[in-house]
């Protein structure tokens, strides 16, 4: 194809490009892709002129990604990046919800190491998993969540698909909602884990919030929650944290859960649980699944996303599952087939390593009981620092402020009530890294650092408005 390139300076280019005047005039004869050209023109990096069958194209030597702006740092994972860059020796990373030892080191559970040794001994292969994931994992994960004797398991009414941890499992659920419940809304607590909104936005699922946290009582706004769930359009999906609500650490009581279930049933809504902390709230796997199980016991259909990031410390293995409880085995089979269909073009099939670890730990009675003991240890360490932080705050703060809300919260986090400016002070002055909503991860705190953290909180609370 004949084509001539002529160097030319263009006066009509954006000012930012004026220094880059090494533009080229491209002349082509015959056919030309006008649609592509029009697209380019819209980006204003290419100018055209037509002379009958001749088209002149001015192609500019700039990045085709020039129009892409810098994304802001992630409000949670971005905190770890900022922490790494800080050279102060007092620095403390209470941003991400990741368990640390008393020495503030990452922790690989002993049962995980044992399971990995077993896997190595067996010399297992690295073939692709089926789209739905490892069969042995899918069985144990549903049993762990609902209880092995639960009728939904016995009657095969659960569609379980291995997901890319909690996030990926939520994303699959969102894709299912978008495809099969078009226009249906997801309602979520205010506040909630920040990524919930991103996940639903990217899946194209509309959402709104229900009241949850009451800053006056630093507790649950139960009446607000109930009336907002009631007011949502019939058939909405109600996103609920199964236990250890993130970021507030405030969970409904068993009686309140029953009332929430009543309203959801009345309004024909569909519960959509996010269970990222089973075993981490109370130290007991069963107690932490009781909200989900009480809804299931009512015969409700529901969705549950699970994660093993925290309770087995498998953060980077990306292991979790989406479970859809259906009213019949037949419906569950169809739902599962569609979840697989959604997963296939997204990531094809999930990773095997974490799935094997979970299957080995949960499926082996000795390792399972060892896991429970280790989890109690982790949950216990967090409870200890929670108590110590409260004690330090109460002893040091002479203002009479009641800090007991810290003891009422459960799970990995404490929602301190510090505002953005106060949280900024925590980081800028005290080198305490935390999310800007006032959340601190107690899983990243040691007993030795409790007093320092208390000083930082008292200073930020009283001296910054």
Give the footprint of ligand PGU on this chain (CB under 6 A).
Answer: 76-77, 96-97, 165-167, 193, 195, 241, 246, 274, 276, 307, 309, 315, 320
DSSP-derived 3-state class of residue 33:
coil
Angle value at C-alpha 78, between 172 and 220, nearest 5 degrees: 65
Instruction: Tell me how far apart the alpha carbons of residues 379 and 306 are, in angstroms, rounded to a whole number.
Output: 18
Beta bridge partners of residue 160, listed in sequence order? 323
Catalytic pick among 310, 388, 436, 449: 310
Looking at beta carbons only, is 60 or 412 nearer to ligand PGU? 412
Instruction: Tell me how far apart the alpha carbons of residues 319 and 140 are, in angstroms, rounded to a whole number.
Output: 13
427: left (phi over 0), alpha (psi -120 to 50) or beta: alpha
What is the smallest separation between the CB atom of 178 and ligand PGU, expressed in angstroms?
19
DSSP-derived 3-state class of residue 326:
coil
Active site residue 274: yes
Scan for tokens 């978008």, then name that residue. 178
Looking at beta carbons only, is 57 or 313 nearer to ligand PGU? 313
Active site residue 207: no
Active site residue 310: yes
DSSP state letters, 155-173:
TT-EEEEEEEHHHHHHHHH
Contact 97, 310 (CB under 8 A): yes
299: left (phi over 0), alpha (psi -120 to 50) or beta: left
Catalytic pick among 274, 288, 388, 403: 274
Looking at beta carbons only, is 97 or 191 nearer to ligand PGU? 97
What's the burial of 318, exposed, middle or buried (CB within 10 Å: 0-12/13-18/19+)? buried
Catalytic pick among 193, 257, 371, 403: 193
What is the smallest separation between the CB atom of 245 and ligand PGU, expressed in angstroms?
8
Scan for tokens 């409260």, then name that residue. 390
Residue 301 CA from chain centroid, whole number: 23
Instruction: Tell me how far apart the alpha carbons of residues 410 and 418 are, in angstroms, rounded to a whole number.
Output: 18
What is the smallest separation between the CB atom of 84 and ligand PGU, expressed in angstroms?
15
Instruction: Tell me how far apart the alpha carbons of residues 462 and 465 are, in angstroms, rounded to a whole number.
Output: 7
Q: Which residues are catalytic?
A: 193, 274, 310
């Amino acid at each position: 194809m004949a084509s001539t390139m002529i160097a030319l300076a263009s006066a009509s280019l954006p000012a930012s490009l004026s220094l880059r005047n090494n533009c080229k005039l491209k002349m082509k004869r015959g056919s030309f892709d006008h649609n592509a050209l029009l697209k380019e023109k819209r980006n204003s990096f290419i100018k055209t002129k037509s002379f009958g069958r001749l088209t002149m194209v001015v192609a500019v030597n700039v990045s085709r990604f020039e129009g892409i702006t810098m994304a802001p740092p992630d409000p949670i994972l971005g905190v770890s990046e900022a922490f790494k860059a800080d050279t102060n020796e007092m620095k403390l990373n209470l941003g991400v919800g990741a368990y640390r030892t008393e020495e503030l080191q990452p922790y690989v559970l002993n049962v995980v190491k044992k399971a990995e040794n077993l896997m190595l001994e067996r010399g297992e292969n690295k073939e692709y998993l089926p789209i739905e994931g490892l069969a042995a994992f899918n069985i144990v994960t549903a049993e762990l969540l609902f209880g092995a004797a639960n009728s939904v398991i016995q009657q095969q009414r659960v569609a379980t698909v291995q997901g890319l941890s909690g996030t990926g499992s939520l994303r699959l659920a969102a894709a299912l909602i978008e495809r099969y419940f078009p226009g249906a809304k997801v309602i979520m607590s205010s506040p909630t884990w920040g990524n919930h909104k991103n996940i639903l936005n990217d899946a194209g699922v509309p959402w709104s919030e229900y009241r949850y946290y009451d800053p006056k009582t630093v507790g649950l706004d139960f009446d607000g929650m109930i009336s907002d769930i009631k007011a949502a359009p019939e058939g909405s999906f109600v996103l609920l944290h199964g236990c250890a609500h993130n970021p507030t650490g405030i969970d409904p009581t068993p009686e309140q859960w029953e009332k929430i279930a009543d309203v959801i049933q009345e309004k024909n809504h569909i519960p959509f649980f996010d269970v990222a902390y089973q075993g981490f709230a109370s130290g007991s796997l069963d107690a932490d699944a009781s909200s989900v199980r009480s809804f299931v016991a009512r015969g409700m259909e529901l969705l549950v996303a699970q994660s093993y990031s925290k309770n087995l410390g498998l953060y980077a293995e990306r292991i979790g599952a989406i479970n859809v409880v259906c009213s019949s085995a037949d419906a569950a089979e169809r739902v599962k087939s569609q979840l697989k269909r959604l997963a296939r073009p997204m990531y094809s099939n999930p990773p095997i390593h974490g799935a094997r670890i979970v299957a080995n730990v949960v499926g082996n009675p000795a390792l399972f009981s060892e896991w429970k003991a280790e989890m109690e240890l982790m949950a216990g360490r967090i409870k200890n620092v929670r108590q110590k932080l409260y004690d330090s705050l109460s002893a040091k703060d002479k203002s009479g402020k009641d800090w007991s809300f810290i003891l009422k919260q459960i799970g990995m986090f404490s929602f301190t009530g510090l505002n953005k400016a106060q949280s900024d002070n925590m980081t800028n002055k005290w080198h305490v890294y935390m999310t800007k909503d006032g959340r601190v991860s107690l899983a990243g705190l040691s007993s030795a650092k409790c007093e320092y953290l208390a000083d930082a909180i008292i200073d930020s609370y009283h001296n910054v408005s």
